[in-house]
Chain A
Amino acid sequence: AQTVTQSQPEMSVQEAETVTLSCTYDTSESDYYLFWYKQPPSRQMILVIRQEAYKQQNATENRFSVNFQKAAKSFSLKISDSQLGDAAMYFCAYMEYGNKLVFGAGTILRVKS
């Protein structure tokens, strides 16, 4: 079974600075999708960014970008110009066949003003 590992339980960043959240996964598949979801204190899950494994180009969404290293099975999230509203729990997720998501344990991001 696929597994997703987020090795950083908590991270802190100063407002306006850049932070990188780590994620590694284990799979024997060659084609798959990876996601980062954000869960603020309201507990709603919000899609941040998506990466297709067959695309070599790293996905970007405004201040959010990923560093996708397929051979290393690594999928880190970079948040640039951090804002107070970025404070949340961030989950890395792998999508396996059947559209089922496998989630990591999450990283709490704290943003300091």
Chain B
Amino acid sequence: DGGITQSPKYLFRKEGQNVTLSCEQNLNHDAMYWYRQDPGQGLRLIYYSQIVNDFQKGDIAEGYSVSREKKESFPLTVTSAQKNPTAFYLCASSIEGGASNQPQHFGDGTRLSIL
């Protein structure tokens, strides 16, 4: 079955530590996205990538980094510069980026907590 796989489901970070959240899709989608969800709030865009080897900052990119070396993979690193990383992180993909207005499909998410 095609879909988006996020791992791990739960992740714990120590102070001063970088952690990487994995997102893999086998839908052959060009565009991929990372969102952060806090309690009582909607999803906020962290980073997005419309094509391999290219990505742009979203609304809350500070303290995060990404790479897009392969079409199917878009890992998110939460760096020690992110002072409030505890949240639920969702990865999404769509057939195309740009002006295609295609719906986004989401993974099951990763919950990140501070130890």
Query: Chain A interface (Cβ within 8 Å of chain B)?
Result: 4, 6, 32-33, 35, 37, 42-47, 50, 52, 91, 93, 95, 97-106
Contact = CB atoms under 8 A, between A and B. Distances in A.
Interface residues of B, number: 30
Interface of B: 31, 33, 40-45, 48, 50, 56, 58, 88, 90, 92, 94, 96-109
B109 A44 contact: yes
B108 A43 contact: yes
Contacts of B94: 99
Contacts of B90: 45
A99 to B, nearest CB: 5
A33 B102 CA distance: 9
Given A47-B105, A99-B101, A91 B96 contact: no
Given A37-B106, A47-B104, A99-B104, 9 more contacts: A6-B42, A44-B107, A50-B103, A98-B56, A98-B97, A99-B48, A99-B97, A100-B33, A101-B45
A104 B40 CA distance: 10
Contacts of A103: 42-44
